Amino acid sequence: MDKLLSTDMVQTQKKADDWQAVAKMSGSLLLEKDLIEEKYIEAMIKAVEEHGMYIVIAPGIALFHARPEQGVKETGLSLITLKGGVNFGVADKDPVYLAFALAAKDKTSHLNLLSNLSKVLQDQAVVEKLKQALDEKTLVDVLNQKLKEETK
């Protein structure tokens, strides 16, 4: 099974004022690895403004993304964890502690990533560990351990 996240695609225990700041932080990780063009980050924010906060997929968890043609170079995923959480304005799911940003080059290349991500997020104990991880290595170890169990 593919690795879901590497330590350089993760930043733990960050602080942010609002959801736009969180989008920019998670998007910056994709930008630094040259997976996206800068305009993709704005597109992720616009997608929320246009369609609503449906990107908060579960209590405490957000998944930012835009369309392939809005500046994706390569498929990838990043994660920011938020110290104390950030309110996204979704009453029963606030605050958000885990903010993922997804770049998908086409309609299928990210399916394996999403499938792995689903398995991880369906496990409440793992989600708690991800929220609490104090550094990038601890977080990635939690993810890899979970995925290893899934493939057994």
- The stretch near other proteins (CB under 8 A) out of 9-17, 19-27, 51-59, 128-136 is 51-59
In the complex, minimum distance from the CB of residue 56 to other proteins, in angstroms, rounded to a whole number:
7
In the complex, minimum distance from the CB of residue 6 to other proteins, in angstroms, rounded to a whole number:
21
Q: Applying CB under 8 A, what is the total number of residues that bind other proteins?
A: 32
E strand residue ranges, the chain: 10-14, 56-58, 61-65, 76-86, 96-103
- The stretch near other proteins (CB under 8 A) out of 6-14, 34-42, 57-65, 130-138 is 57-65
User: What does the per-residue mask of binding to other proteins show for 89-128, with x meaning CB under 8 A?
Assistant: -x-xx--------x-x--x--xx--xx-xx--xx------
Helix, coil or strand: residue 88: coil
Question: Considering beta carbons, is residue 66 or 99 the nearer one to other proteins?
Answer: 66
Distances (CA, A) of 70 to 48, 50, 110, 145: 14, 15, 15, 34
- Of 5, 10, 40, 65, which lies in the binding site for other proteins, with binding defined by CB under 8 A? 65
Of the residues 65, 110, 131, 146, only one is catalytic, namely: 65
- Residue carrying structure tokens 């170079």: 73
Report the C-alpha gap between 107 and 114 in whole angstroms: 12
- Six token digits for residue 97: 């502690």
Nearest-Å Rg of the Cα atoms of the chain is 14
In the complex, minimum distance from the CB of residue 50 to other proteins, in angstroms, rounded to a whole number:
7
Beta strands across the sheet bearing 10-14: 10-14, 76-86, 96-103, 61-65, 56-58
Binding site for other proteins (CB under 8 A): 47-48, 50-59, 61, 63, 65-68, 90, 92-93, 102, 104, 107, 110-111, 114-115, 117-118, 121-122
Active site amino acids: 65
